[in-house]
Amino acid sequence: MDIITSSPADLPGAAKSILKAAGSNRILLFYGEMGAGKTTLIKSLCEALGVNDAVTSPTFSIVNEYRSSNGPVFHFDFYRLSNQSEALDLGYEEYFDSGNYCFIEWPEKIAGLIPDQYTGIRILVLDATTRQVTVENI
């Protein structure tokens, strides 16, 4: 599925479509260059799931946990990971296997640890405010 968002105002609608397209998949991987809009889209997904906590990219840790009316939501940003063993140390598997939503920025950094089933989301910058969002269930 491809969605074009013409501005951040389109993201709440896009988030609903993405959650529907993901179906029972709870692991969502976000690919896209710096500033493409991964965190911004994850904020909208969290809102759609009923998260009331502030959603910000995990800066001091690799993972943030938010409370939602649909249970915990985990937000990973692996950008600063220097090697995959750091993901093992933080116990990534327990999060991935928990059955809760896991939103993952920079999954390229844990390429060898990605589960068999996930939803891949690619964000392509078309211009300053326009993004092409491609959603694929694997």
Ligand X SMILES: Nc1ncnc2c1ncn2[C@@H]1O[C@H](COP(=O)(O)OP(=O)(O)OP(=O)(O)O)[C@@H](O)[C@H]1O
Give the interface with Mg ion as residue ranges (CB under 5 A). 38-39, 57, 105
Measured CA to CA in angstroms, residue 120 lies from 19, 34, 73, 83, 132 at distances of 12, 17, 17, 22, 13
Position closest to ligand X via CB: 37
84 binds, among ligand X, Mg ion, none (CB under 5 to 8 A by kind): none
**Min dist. Cβ of residue 23 to ligand X (A):** 23
CA 19 to chain centre: 11
Residues in contact with ligand X, shown as a per-residue x/- string from 39 to 78 under the rule CB under 6 A: xxx---------------x---------------------
Q: Alpha helix locations (H) across the chain?
A: 11-22, 38-48, 85-89, 92-96
77 vs 97: CA distance, rounded Å: 18
Q: At what angle do helices 11-22 and 38-48 cross, to 10 degrees?
A: 70
Interface of this chain with ligand X, residues 93 to 122, rule: CB under 6 A: 105
62 binds, among ligand X, Mg ion, none (CB under 5 to 8 A by kind): none
Binding residues vs ligand X (CB under 6 A):
5, 7-8, 11, 32, 34-41, 57, 105, 129, 131
